[in-house]
Each structure stands twice: as structure tokens, then as C-alpha cells.
Amino acid sequence: MTNTALILAAGSGSRAGSALAKQYQLIAGKPLLRHTLEAFCRHPKVDAVRVVIAAGDEARFKAVASDLDTTPVIGGATRQESGRLGLESLAGTPPRHVLIHDAARPFVSASLIDKVLAGLERHQGAIPAMPVTETLKRAPAGLIAGTVDREGLWSAQTPQGFRYGSICEAHSRAAAAGLAHFTDDAAVAEWAGIAVAVVEGEPANVKVTTSDDLRAAEQRLTRDRLQHCPDIRVGQGYDVHAYEPGDRVVLCGIAIPHHARLAGHSDADAPMHALTDALLGSIGESDIGTHFPPSEMQWKNAASAIFLRHAAGLIEKRGGFIANTDITIICEAPRIAPHIPTMRANLSEILKLSPDRVGIKATTNEALGFIGRGEGLAAFATATVRLP
Ligand code: CTP
Ligand code: MG
């Protein structure tokens, strides 16, 4: 390994003030941490990514990064400790360089990573930083006690790059000396006598810290994504399944007790099948039956979430995203309304969409036709999809 990115994501995000730590909050449809991970995973010079997470966040992390080839390690009580534990976890396959980065900085650009790597060719360490432009005051009790000369002052960003061996040793020695006050890795390096160069940071490479920062990040990533994906598509789908003797129906992945079940090869989840077809249709793909032939035994009793994930994955592979989905379920019974919130939550999790982008409605067929006679259930779906 030449360059490994070490992403620190073990903080609790207390200043952002929500129960779910900021790195797992959805921003423009994806967890914050996912945006950060993708920036490093898609960089051609980054060979591996190691993420430091908090104990207890294993399942949450898995949901964020299941498709990425990376095993997390558990961090500590401070950023410094999380950094050290992450570095030590790489000792088995030590990289030449390590780029230590805050998960809370999702706007890191490829060119900034390049600049830090270029700095590392000439120095033991290199960090991006911004020259301080404001006048600085020291005001310990709210009253100004002095003005600090800003000449030569920089405000540090990440990724901070180091020769792996030297920063790992510096962290171990600092911990052994009982020092626990370092707020970034360059400070640990400085203490250990490692020369660290400053490369020019980017104003956009902010650290998401408060709930206002989260909102600003959402706005910015949404705008970037809309600009990047101007090609608007609409797909539609329809599915119907007949009732047969049974005790439950599965709709949008949720089992609802009923005196019948839907007949079908898979779990016969008609709304989810209709939605899968709408997504496939939006990108000109053939329908669900072609992708998952009913003649193949492996799809017998299959959970339809597999089909839906597959369709969403095809859109993602093309660099696009789903803007919204909408479903109408038509049946006389069971009553669907009480289950709609759970169904929406399930679809929004599968599609990584905020719940306000997932519509589900139900209606009866006014006792008319096969649906009116209770012989089956039908579902329509539409999806808006945007492609580059
Ligand atoms: N971090 C970490 N382990 C810790 C503390 C922080 O890995 N014990 C990580 C955070 O997840 C974040 C980065 O270090 O990506 C920068 O820290 P900060 O912005 O302070 O995040 P939090 O500590 O989570 O937030 P807060 O200080 O508001 O609680
Ligand atoms: Mg913190």
C-alpha cells in the first residue's frame, strides 16, 4: 500500500445537537460519512480506506459502507485517541503514507488530496490550511484582553498527510507520555519534532460542526447534485397479484395480517414490484421479470427488496439518483393507511431517500371489478430519476 486514507468517524457530534451523530445524518440523500468515503474511494491515488468508528456504531457503519472494501476499527474518547487506534490498526500492512481526515469534512476535493500527496513527496508531513483573514482577539471573560497578530497564522484542515511510520510512532509516544490534549495530528507531529509543511487549503473544505453547518451542507450537496444531473427521467410501473389462502400480505416490505396472502413466485409484494419496474423503466432497462426470471428457483419466496435495491443500484452506477417515488395501492382489504408510515420508512431506507420523497397512497376500487370482489390487489408506481 502506498497511500491509505484514515477517516475519523468515532465522535458523538455533540455540538450538532441531535441524537444520531452527524456523520450518519442524511445529507442530500446519503449519510455525511458516505460523501466523505466516496471522495477518497474514487481518488486514483488512494489505495485503501480505513474508518475509525465509535463502539456500538458497527451496524450503522455497515449500512453506510456495505459495498466498500473496508473493515472499520473502534476509536476512543478523543479525536487524538481515535487517530492513534486507527494508525495502530494499520500496523500489519503499513502504508507508505497515511492521510488522516475528519469524517465531518465531506467537501474534500480530489485536487486538495493531490496537493497534500504532492507535499508529502518533499516533507515528512503536509497539511492543508487557510491563512487567517480576520483580526483575532483574546477575550477570556468576554472582555478583550489583547489583539493577536494574525501574521503567519493558519487555520488547519484535513486531510493531514504523514509518512506512516513517523506519525504512528509520534502518536504512540504521545499516549505513553500521558499527553491527551492534541486536537489534530499535525500537533502530535509537531510535538514529536516531525517537520510538517502547509499546503493551501480550500475554503469549501469546511468541517460540519453545528446543525446550521448540516443544513448548509445539505443545500450545497443538493445543488451540486442537481447541476451534475440535468437529465430528468420519469418511469412508471404496474403490478397485480391474486389473493390465495394465507394469513398476511407483504406490501413495501411490511407484513400486514390478513385472511389471505398474495400469490406469486417471490413474496408477491406488488407495490415494490411496480416501483422496481418504474425505476428500471426510467433508465430504459427491461422489466423486473427479465432481470429476475420467475423460472429461476433462487427468486422463489425472495424478499422483493432485493429487486428494488438492484434497480436503484443500476441508477447509481450510471451516476444518477432518484428524486422521488410515488405508489398507489388499490385493494378493498386489508386497510393500508395504518401501515403507511412504516412502509415509507422501509422504502426510504432501501432507496436512501428522505421520507418526504417517498409517496405511498392507498385506495379501494369502490367494489368494482376483480379488485372490488377481493380477488386481488394492484399497485401503480412512478419514479423521477436524474442522470448526468
Ligand atoms: N472524532 C473521532 N473520535 C472522537 C472524537 C472525534 O473519531 N473521540 C472524529 C469525529 O467523528 C469527526 C472528527 O473527529 O469526524 C472531528 O471532530 P469533531 O468535529 O469535533 O466531531 P465530534 O467530536 O463528533 O463533534 P463534537 O465535538 O461536537 O462532539
Ligand atoms: Mg469533537
- The string of pLDDT tens digits covering residues 267-314 is 999 999 999 999 999 999 999 999 998 888 888 888 999 999 999 999
- What percent of the chain is modeled with pLDDT above 90? 91
Check whether 201 has a pLDDT greater than 90.
yes
pLDDT at 30: 86
Question: Cis bond leading into 159, ω under 30°?
Answer: yes
pLDDT at 290: 92
- List alpha helices for 7-124, DSSP H: 32-41, 58-65, 79-89, 110-122
Q: Which residue has the higher pLDDT, 114 or 66?
A: 114
| CATH number among 3.30.1330.50, 3.30.420.40, 3.30.420.10, 3.30.70.1400, domain 229-387 | 3.30.1330.50
- From the list 305, 368, 365, the residue with the least C-alpha distance to 332 is 365
324 lines ligand 1 (CB under 6 A): no
Q: Output the CA 79–ligand 2 centroid distance in Å.
A: 7
Q: Output the CA 334–ligand 1 centroid distance in Å.
A: 47
Average pLDDT over every residue of 330-338: 97
- The string of pLDDT tens digits covering residues 343-371 is 999 999 899 888 999 999 999 999 999 99
Which residue bears the cell 498527510? Answer: 161
pLDDT at 266: 87
- The string of pLDDT tens digits covering residues 206-234 is 999 999 999 999 999 889 889 999 999 99
Domain locations in the chain as residue ranges: 3-226, 229-387
Q: Output the CA 361–ligand 2 centroid distance in Å.
A: 43
Q: Whose CA is nearest to atom 28 of ligand 1?
A: 15
Strand partners, 233: 385
Least confident of 6-10, 11-15, 269-273, 349-353: 349-353
Check whether 205 has a pLDDT greater than 90.
yes
pLDDT at 28: 83
Q: Are 241 and 263 in contact (CB under 8 A)?
A: yes
Q: Output the CA 103–ligand 1 centroid distance in Å.
A: 8
**6, 7, 8, best to mutate for ligand 1 pocket (most atoms within 8 Å of CB):** 8
- What percent of the chain is modeled with pLDDT above 70? 100
| CATH number among 3.40.640.10, 3.40.50.300, 3.30.300.30, 3.90.550.10, domain 3-226 | 3.90.550.10
Q: Output the CA 19–ligand 2 centroid distance in Å.
A: 15
33 lines ligand 1 (CB under 6 A): no
Phi, psi angle pair for 246, to nearest 5°: 175, -170
Topology match between the domains 3-226 and 229-387: no
Tally the C-alpha atoms within 13 A of residue 53's C-alpha that lie toward its C-beta: 23
Q: Output the CA 41–ligand 2 centroid distance in Å.
A: 24
343 lines ligand 1 (CB under 6 A): no
- List alpha helices for 76-204, DSSP H: 79-89, 110-122, 164-176, 185-191
Chain centroid to CA 276: 22
Per-residue b/e over 280-291, b at no fewer than 16 CB within 10 Å? bbbbebeebeeb
Question: Cis bond leading into 334, ω under 30°?
Answer: yes
pLDDT at 57: 97
Q: Whose CA is nearest to atom 16 of ligand 1?
A: 102
C-alpha cell read off for 292? 429476475
* CA–CA dist 247, 255 (Å, integer): 10
Q: What is the mean pLDDT of the chain?
A: 96
Average pLDDT over every residue of 319-334: 97
pLDDT at 29: 79
Stretch (H or E) spanning 225: helix 211-228
Q: Are 282 and 234 in contact (CB under 8 A)?
A: yes
91 lines ligand 1 (CB under 6 A): no
C-alpha cell read off for 354? 428522505
10 lines ligand 1 (CB under 6 A): yes
72 lines ligand 1 (CB under 6 A): no
Stretch (H or E) spanning 248: strand 248-251
Q: How confident is the model at residue 67 (pLDDT cuts 50, 70, 90)?
A: confident
85 lines ligand 1 (CB under 6 A): no
Average pLDDT over every residue of 122-130: 97
